[in-house]
Amino acid sequence: MKKNLLCLLFIICAVTSLYGQNIRISGMVSDEKGEPMPSVNVALRHIDSTFVAGCVTDSRGMFALRQLEVGDSYLLQVSFMGCVPQTIRLDNVEKPMEVGTIVLVEDAVSLQGVTVTASNVMKKVDRQIILPSQRQVKASSSGYELLAHMQLPGLKVDGVQQKVSTVGGGAVQLRINDIQASVAQVQALRPEMVLRVEYIDNPGVRYGDTDAEAVVNYVVKRPQAGVMGGFSAINAVTTGFGNDNLYLRANYKLSEFGLDYYISYRDYDERYVDETQTFFFPDGGQRNRVFGKVPTAFNYVTHTIEASYNLTKQDKYVFNALFTEEIEDYPHNDMGEVIREAGKPDLYSMTLAENYSRIPSLDLYYRLFLPRNQHLTMNVVGTYLYSDYKRDYRESGEMGGEPSSQYAYATKGKRYSLIGEAGYRKDFSQVALSAGLKYTQAYTSNRYTGAVDEAVNMHNSTLYGYVQLQGKWAKLKYALGAGMSREAFDRTGEGYTFYTFRPMLTVAYPVFKGANLSYVFNTYPTLPSLSALSDIRQQKTDLEVNRGNPGLTPYRSYNNRLRLSWGNGIVNAQLQGSYLHQKNPIMQQVACVAQPDGSYLFEYSQDNQKRFSQLNGQCYVGVTVVPDLLSVSLYGGVNRFESRGREYAHDYTAWYAGGSVSLNYKGFTFYGEMGNRYRSLFGETLNYGEETGTVQCSYQWKDWNAGVGMLYPFSSTSRTGGYKLLNKLHQSKSWTYIDDNARMLYFTLSWKFSSGRKHQAGDKTMNNADRDTGIAM
């Protein structure tokens, strides 16, 4: 053990002791009249904003930065009191560079903040850093629209429904200045304030305790007007569909105050399901049921109110407080069907479901800047979650008639949680060392009444720590990290404690000009959800019942990915292959259980099965057809799934493809995207994802932006999704339809304003939230 520790310390010391070669960057700073400016601050940073070196100009306005790394890219920042700061990008510095004379002008003159001297895409070991083009900024009125026009590989952006996911439907975490952002904040984001976008498609150990498959971080200039605000609205013409928000910012001295309000609603008169079921009984019997379409209502409304306060003293500290109130109301999440079965009269089934929740939370954040390129961050979040869920399933001989069978229950729940996190970062000349510790303590109380009469009280806590080393050795870029977590869960004296280890390795190498070869390996655990661990038994229909499984245990996933990417400023291409292997994954288990009266019930639960694997190949090509006018992107891929349970074995191969087009001419913008369903297999279920289809045209005039668009323009009916169950005892296939979404015409309108003095609010680099109710539904 001692030998291993000594070897580890030797490796870390050897890496951190690497020294830069004698490359220097020099130049001169003058005012508008050409006079040299002494005592001007000059700072050199990596593209990801980490500090490299700094100095001040001498009496002749000259500066020189020495001992710099060969072949890296930098941002050269020049600032002086009362002048507009200048930032110049320097790509691939291979030899001593003379940048010439940099002219600073008085603050009253507005200049562009960044000068792009080469490709606007910079590839780092763990992320891509993209500088939005002027065309992309002008074509966008929100953070979602900007991301859509940037056409990042591997992402699907739905600016209408305000969703971002990976091509495979995986979760994407959105951040603003490294703060996990809400829908309201991304929608209110002003594209002209975005300095760059950081696209992390292999999140490191810092994100190890989340389910994010990718992270998008908008790095923005903080609101600088004394008062600024605006609104944006997306509303359908004949359908109950809307996503609207208002925002306001004001500042005084070192303080900034913010207020955001966001509302999202859906109101569909007709949603229906088309389903077939076949049940196989132990005695050789069989029942086939066909579910006919019965249109039912589906609606909801979500309100989000956010009040924030920021106190910043530049290069000293940042304090941020955020109070959020989220209210979700689903009065009608209903589903009606006609059950047809040979030899039996038709039955009408109706599921009435409603859900209401309130989630107030308080988020306190503090960041302290320390000498020698160090900083310490702390974050504390307290959350209270109240939920009220009701479900009533009934079958009758006629629609609305007296039920022949009925299963109803209600759940009221409360959850209290406290999350605390601390992080440290130190930037050396060649490497960056970061470490953090996060602790979560929560108490959940759910009361089930009706067909289920039980109280469930749960305590759970999580302790997660990580350390990561990131740097460059010759031309090889690397990131090496590890995380360790302790998960504890207790329910009325019964519980578990899990210890998990999360290592990660990323390496990248420039194989030739414009091309980069990268490899990623990580392994991570997946824990059972609180609702899956509860021993609640819930009757679904006269034949089906759901049951939890307190015996579930975490399982481990191993992920490998090899990618070759190439770009020349006009064409951006990626070719990648990946392999995911999961050992003892938590997947479906279906059993036919005999009842005391001689009947049978099909019991659905989850259990740790044998293994699951996914082999993927994917290609992406993005082309700037006409600079500052037209760009097109296309993607395609294939998945091979293998699912092995203790009593089943399933294989499935699925292809997928899609693309988007972005056109901008003067004040007019056109955007369109299409994609087929992303089909996947897990356990014994084939999932059919939602199709992608949107066209939109908008016009920008001063601070106003108006547009018109259509959702699913080429579909007469809208199948929102479906699934197929492959179990040997129960086989079924189901599709859900919302025809109001097909060829849905909508309008967009946004307006913004700003006035007053300037303020530079500091950035918050942590954000924690808790939204797990623990309710079994």
* Main-chain dihedrals φ then ψ at residue 609, nearest 5 degrees: -95, -170
- Residue 571 domain-assigned (yes or no): yes
Beta bridge partners of 48: none
pLDDT of residue 120: 63
DSSP, residue by residue, 310-322: EEEETTTEEEEEE
| Strand, coil or helix: 770 | coil
- Which segment, 33-42, 253-262, 650-659, is predicted with the most confidence on average? 650-659
pLDDT of residue 44: 87
Q: Mean per-residue pLDDT for 753-770?
A: 56
Q: Which residue has the higher pLDDT, 33 or 284?
A: 284
- The 10s digit of each residue's pLDDT in 47-74 is 766 678 888 888 788 899 887 877 778 8
82-91, 549-558, 706-715, 719-728, range with the lowest pLDDT: 82-91
pLDDT of residue 110: 31
- Residue 108 domain-assigned (yes or no): no
pLDDT of residue 604: 92
Contact criterion met (CB below 8 Å) for 502 and 526: no
Q: Which residue has the higher pLDDT, 177 or 408?
A: 408
Contact criterion met (CB below 8 Å) for 301 and 329: yes
And the tokens for 687?
């999932």
Buried b (16+ CB within 10 A) or exposed e, 310-320: bbbeeeeebbb
Dihedral of the alpha carbons of 679, 680, 686, 691, in degrees to the nearest 10: -20
- Residue 645 domain-assigned (yes or no): yes
Average pLDDT of the residues of the chain: 84
- Residue 219 domain-assigned (yes or no): no
User: What is the number of domains present in the chain?
Assistant: 1
pLDDT of residue 756: 67
pLDDT of residue 125: 67
Range of the domain at 705: 227-755
* 228 pLDDT higher than 60: yes
* 775 pLDDT higher than 60: no
- Residue 62 domain-assigned (yes or no): no
pLDDT of residue 209: 63
Q: What is the CATH number of the domain that holds 349?
A: 2.40.170.20
- Residue 738 domain-assigned (yes or no): yes
pLDDT of residue 101: 82
Q: Which residues contact 371 (CB under 8 A, 6 or more apart)?
A: none
Predicted TM-score (pTM) of this structure: 0.76
What's the half-sphere exposure (Cβ side, CA atoms, 13 Å) at 209?
25
**Residue 613 confidence class, pLDDT cut points 50, 70, 90:** very high
CA angle in degrees (0–180, nearest 5) for 205-210-215: 75
> Strands 97-103 and 23-30, how do they pair?
parallel
pLDDT of residue 366: 92
* 22 pLDDT higher than 70: no
Residue 741: DSSP 8-state = G
* 765 pLDDT higher than 60: no
Residue 69: DSSP 8-state = P
In this structure, which amino acid lies at residue 29? V
Contact criterion met (CB below 8 Å) for 710 and 698: no
| Strand, coil or helix: 492 | coil
- Residue 582 domain-assigned (yes or no): yes
Burial class (CB in 10 A: 0-12, 13-18, 19+), 599: exposed
- Residue 101 domain-assigned (yes or no): no
pLDDT of residue 251: 82
